Structure 1
Amino acid sequence: MSQFEHTPRECTKTFLENALEVLGVESELAYLLETPHRTVEVELPLRRDNGDLAVYHGFRVQHDDSRGPFKGGLRYHPHLNADHAQGLASLMTWKTALMGVPMGGAKGGINCDPNELSIGELERLTKQFATRIAAIIGPAQDIPAPDVATSGREMAWIYDLYTQLNGHHPDVVTGKPLELGGSEGRVEATGYGVAWITEAACKARDITMDSARIAIQGFGNVGSHAARYLAERGARIVAVSDVGGGLYNSQGLDIDVLLDEVENNDGKSLSVSEIQGSGDAIDNQELLSLDVDVLIPAALGAAINRDNVDNINADMVVEAANLPVTCDADASLRERGVMVIPDILANAGGVVVSYLEWVQNRQGQHWPEDSVNQTLTRHLDAAWRAIRQRTSEEDFRLAAYSVAAERVIQTKTLRGFLL
């Protein structure tokens, strides 16, 4: 491509095409791997609490189920559309394949701003959405999970709606509350995986954890848990930021203080004005340009793009969010020798434990957190070793996509292509 695009669909397609070219995949099969199995858009009328009628749209993109039932999160964001969901669904296919999880890829959600809706409105909207996609989801067909601006609460609502239609099926969604069949360690899993992979990548880059300076953009569920685990490993978290602002301290921030602040703020965001003594106030763009060993974008996609990529001064970028580095920015970072650890490896801890939750539900069991984390660590270690064996030039994204695509191709070939 002469000019890289910023959209999730085009960026995922670019990353996949690079891998398929290395693998020598024929054009027809490449097209099959790039395009989604099914894209569904549904109309969602909602009677607001004040009596007004609002109309939203819900999306579910099922990309590939060669290796198992479709799997992927639901996000609530006003800018969500079918194109965006298609790119993220493709990403899930490669993530599950890379992590050795016998599932495929899907994604979806609703184009709403949940902050503008009451809890009652959100429940009605969620159950309306679940009703309209009920025919294409199910424990052996498509298993949704939380994503941006959704949580165990929304999964509980979908579980309830699906149960009313089909009987008791806790395995229809993952990321549920523990009381409804959720898994120990699921909430922390993505952050745990980010920390584990960051430590492994630092070793490969000869960066010692005791001296590693790390900046994290995004202090939500993923960023905060990654910060905690990395701090426990001895790293200095010198900067964090979220929608409430950011803090920088060259000597390292007290993560426990920041976690307490978020909890005291109803788990929503940092209130920088109340913790100024912890460090200097900075904004998101200032955080991205800090001279650090590791930069972890853990907020939304396209945080690092063609407009700000030249300001990146980190030695390594670990993608805790989905597609936080656009495809053109990724090429620029590689040319400068910046190591980029791709999202399909770095943030895959969540989907691994979602799979483990599904297994527990199917078996009617509940495993202790130690057992869950041990299994998660094995998956992370196996994926990391597979990538290290594939690349000698530290192009981890190309290696990750190559490993994942090869596994999907093998499964498709074994299953055959004719009806």
Structure 2
Amino acid sequence: MSEKTLNPFKIAQLQLKEACDALGEEDAVYELLSEPEKVLEVTIPVKMDDGTTKLFTGYRVQHNDASGPTKGGIRFHPGVTKDEVKALATWMTFKCGVVGLPYGGAKGGVIVDPSKLSKRELERLSRGYVRAIAPIIGERRDIPAPDVNTNGQTMAWMVDEYSSLRGIGQTLPASFTGKPVEFGGCLARKEATGYGVVLMLREAAKYRGMDIKDMRVAVQGFGNVGSFAAMYAQSFGAKVVAVSDVSCCLYNKDGLDVNDLMEYVETNKTLSGYSGQCEELDREEIFGVECDGFAPCALENAITSQNVRKMKAKIISEGANGPTTPEAEEYLLKNDVLIIPDILANAGGVIVSYFEWVQNLHNYYWRFDEVQEKQEVKMVDAFMKVTKAMEERHVDMRKAAYLVAIKSLAMPMRLRGWF
């Protein structure tokens, strides 16, 4: 199957099959994990500000609940497809497994361009989506969170709607994570994914006998994940030489001022037009810049056979889900590039979402530094387990991460009598 036609779900299934074969697990393990347990497709009617009603299609996919309730974000994007959501839910299962969380994977999505909706229309859509998926979610069943084009405000609306639907006269903050801190959210949650991407880059540098302080880093995507990845890379001592978003790529071989860039984007929404010391290039030029570490933090299938030969980095930390196609990965591995797979590199978000859920259930909250310390412990421990599996099995890091995750999933499925 060609790169052009291989969709994210097929890629997820391929990665799973390769790992199951390498681990020597029973065929039943692959069969149980190769398809989600539940796929819900819904139609959401939304009254628009002009008085008309528009219909939007949404999905909620629950992949596997052998280890506990399912967990996963909700994205609002015009490119959402059922197979994309199935792939993301599958990856979430393995992400939770590799870092040792008592969750299975889930994901949600609505086909919509949120930039074309008013704030009121966006709220109606958010509440309508919750009404549609309410029968299959809950704080002990499936806990959604933000993803592409959703945020703390979206989650606050959803918590409010879900709590009203439950009709028990109280707010249920543990039903969603990624909420504003003022509404039951967790300190360090918005920073968590980007912070984790750089923690893994730091550990990978050590593993390769390097020091992150000597590294030049490029970050593709400058949304929540990419901007914080760039910020933490700089704070760890790396030189961030390039960042990109949908508008352009900014490059400075001597390093960019990431904090200033973040302030600029907060006001102007894109990187284009930034007047600081840098070159403004086409966004695709990010793949060819001279760097040691590269963090793809946008959407899936970013690194392809079309751009991979331009890349100079020796370590890639996948901030996005599924950013590297199998063809591109094959080329990178042949060239001794260490790829920290998405299910490990960007697991910081679900780790801190788990911390938020625990705090909501117990109504006891931790300090910012406590949350980041706990996240670091979990991610570094997972990194050590994955590199150990990589060395013992003589496989690449992605396959090793899947081996660790599958082992953690196979046992509860076996104990439950599923096979």
Q: TM-score, normalised by structure 2?
A: 0.96
Partner of 2:399: 398
User: What displacement does 1:313 show?
Assistant: 2.1
Partner of 2:358: 359
Question: C-alpha deviations, 1:171-200, integer Å up to 9, x for none?
Answer: 000000111100011010111101111000
Runs of 4+ displaced beyond 3 Å: 1-6
Answer yes or no: is 1:408 the counterpart of 2:412: no
Cα distance between partner residues in 2 of 1:29 and 1:238: 43
Indicate the SS of the match to 1:145: strand
Question: C-alpha deviations, 1:270-300, integer Å up to 9, x for none?
Answer: 2x3232x420111221111122111111111
2:250 is aligned, of 247, 250, 255, to 247
User: What displacement does 1:5 show?
Assistant: 5.3
Answer yes or no: is 1:119 the counterpart of 2:119: yes
Partner of 1:178: 181
Partner of 2:338: 339
Equivalent pair of 1:4/1:328 in contact (CA under 8 Å): no
Matches within 5 A, 1:37-76: 37-76=37-76
Cα distance between partner residues in 1 of 2:8 and 2:372: 30
Answer yes or no: is 1:417 the counterpart of 2:412: no
Cα distance between partner residues in 2 of 1:4 and 1:249: 33
Deviates more, 1:239-248 or 1:125-134: 239-248
Partner of 2:90: 90
Cα distance between partner residues in 2 of 1:281 and 1:371: 39
Cα distance between partner residues in 2 of 1:130 and 1:370: 33
User: What displacement does 1:4 show?
Assistant: 8.8
Indicate the SS of the match to 2:261: helix
Partner of 1:238: 241
Equivalent pair of 1:88/1:107 in contact (CA under 8 Å): yes
Partner of 1:148: 148
Matches within 5 A, 1:8-407: 8-166=8-166, 167=168, 168-265=171-268, 268-270=269-271, 272-275=272-275, 277-392=276-391, 393=394, 395-407=396-408
Q: How many residues align?
A: 414
Segments of structure 2 that go 5 or more residues without pairing to the other structure are: none
> Given the superposition, is the C-alpha separation of residues 206 and 284 from structure 1 closer, same or farther in structure 2, using an over 3 Å criterion?
farther
Cα distance between partner residues in 2 of 1:49 and 1:4: 39
Indicate the SS of the match to 1:71: strand
Cα distance between partner residues in 2 of 1:103 and 1:29: 17
Equivalent pair of 2:201/2:212 in contact (CA under 8 Å): no
Segments of structure 1 that go 5 or more residues without pairing to the other structure are: none
Cα distance between partner residues in 2 of 1:309 and 1:334: 11
Paired amino acid for 2:202 = E
User: What displacement does 1:257 show?
Assistant: 1.5
Equivalent pair of 1:220/1:269 in contact (CA under 8 Å): no
Paired amino acid for 2:83 = D
Equivalent pair of 1:72/1:107 in contact (CA under 8 Å): yes
> Given the superposition, is the C-alpha separation of residues 332 and 269 from structure 1 closer, same or farther in structure 2, using an over 3 Å criterion?
same
Cα distance between partner residues in 2 of 1:127 and 1:296: 34
Paired amino acid for 2:181 = L
Cα distance between partner residues in 1 of 2:417 and 2:5: 33
Question: C-alpha deviations, 1:285-337, integer Å up to 9, x for none?
Answer: 11111221111111111111122222222212111111111122212211222
Cα distance between partner residues in 2 of 1:305 and 1:54: 36
Indicate the SS of the match to 1:214: strand
Equivalent pair of 2:234/2:258 in contact (CA under 8 Å): yes
Indicate the SS of the match to 1:83: helix
Question: C-alpha deviations, 1:208-239, integer Å up to 9, x for none?
Answer: 22221111011111111111111111100000
Paired amino acid for 1:233 = F
Paired amino acid for 1:402 = L
Equivalent pair of 1:303/1:325 in contact (CA under 8 Å): yes
Paired amino acid for 1:148 = V
Equivalent pair of 2:194/2:228 in contact (CA under 8 Å): yes
Cα distance between partner residues in 2 of 1:222 and 1:370: 19
Cα distance between partner residues in 2 of 1:50 and 1:331: 51
Indicate the SS of the match to 1:56: strand
Q: TM-score, normalised by structure 1?
A: 0.96
> Given the superposition, is the C-alpha separation of residues 4 and 243 from structure 1 closer, same or farther in structure 2, using an over 3 Å criterion?
closer
User: What displacement does 1:23 show?
Assistant: 1.1
Equivalent pair of 2:201/2:315 in contact (CA under 8 Å): no
Equivalent pair of 1:4/1:11 in contact (CA under 8 Å): no
Indicate the SS of the match to 2:360: helix
Question: C-alpha deviations, 1:107-156, integer Å up to 9, x for none?
Answer: 01100010010110011011111001101000000000000000011111
Paired amino acid for 1:409 = A
Indicate the SS of the match to 1:274: coil
Cα distance between partner residues in 2 of 1:11 and 1:117: 32
Question: C-alpha deviations, 1:25-70, integer Å up to 9, x for none?
Answer: 2323311111100000001122221223321101000000111100
Paired amino acid for 1:341 = I
Indicate the SS of the match to 2:144: strand
Question: How much is the aligned-residue C-alpha RMSD, in angstroms?
Answer: 1.5
Equivalent pair of 2:3/2:325 in contact (CA under 8 Å): no
Question: C-alpha deviations, 1:333-381, integer Å up to 9, x for none?
Answer: 1122221110011010000000000000000111111221111111101
Indicate the SS of the match to 1:273: coil
Indicate the SS of the match to 2:320: coil
